[in-house]
Structure 1
Amino acid sequence: MLCSAAAVPATAPAAGQDPAAPGAETLYRLDEADGTQLAQARYCDLPPAGMSRLADALRQAARERALAANVTFDAAAHDAAMRAGFDDFRKLMAAFEAQSRIQDLAQRQAHYREQCAEVRAGIEILIGPLAKQDTKG
């Protein structure tokens, strides 16, 4: 009973909108997540060509999400949400770096390599294999 109640949307979808389509808040959060992914790629030293491919793929994915939700894609709103996600990640990493200064350098570098391998794997799922020059570190 609780499971079926949770599946019912809190508000009725707009006319012509798929009831399963994400709402404006969800689309914003997904756009923010795009910015976080772009920030992670930058943190992991993805070169400009890879960053450009990733940004293009993220924008295309956002367009497709908007189309699926039956709303007009707003490039400026997408960019603003991405910037917010990017900035939030940078602040988080600055706090992490400040805290981790007490850790062993070798331990931090191993953690960086592990995290960046995961980030690169996610990027390759989205945009395909990275060229050798796109895989620093």
Structure 2
Amino acid sequence: MSKPFSNDRHKAHLNLAVTTSLLHAEIEHVLRPLDLTTPQFNILRILRGKHPNMVSVKTITERMIDKTSNTSRLIDKLMSKHYVTRIECPKDRRKVDISITEDGLNILLEASSLVEHAIGHSLNEISDRDITELNRILDLIRNATQSV
């Protein structure tokens, strides 16, 4: 028989990890029929937020939810689907800017609808008050973690 948690903080940490994994799997499941991954979805959302302006690969990488994602490879995949375009800076070929295409905006609209529905399904049983409290606590955790 496994030992109970050494304290409630350890239990909360494991609860967060397991819940994050479940929520991530649900989002991956709804994006799969669109041939999108959650990191690709994340990139499209970042680009939509700056549209019609271009965004540097460095900025995209900094804004990614999963900082370990290979942003260049993800952008290549999105380019092959015609969801983004890439423009090299004429003065510095190492600098590359990315923009979302009309096809990218369209697939993002469809994907966002599916993701919204999945989020609603996952969190529908939680009251607005509890959601507000959950967000407050998660902000505290994230702020404490970012300062490490």
Q: Shorter-normalised TM-score: what interval?
A: 0.3 to 0.5
Higher strand share: 2
TM-score, normalization by structure 2:
0.31
**Larger helix share, 1 or 2:** 1
- Tell me which of the two structures has the higher relative contact order, counting C-alpha pairs closer than 8 angstroms and 6 or more residues apart: 1
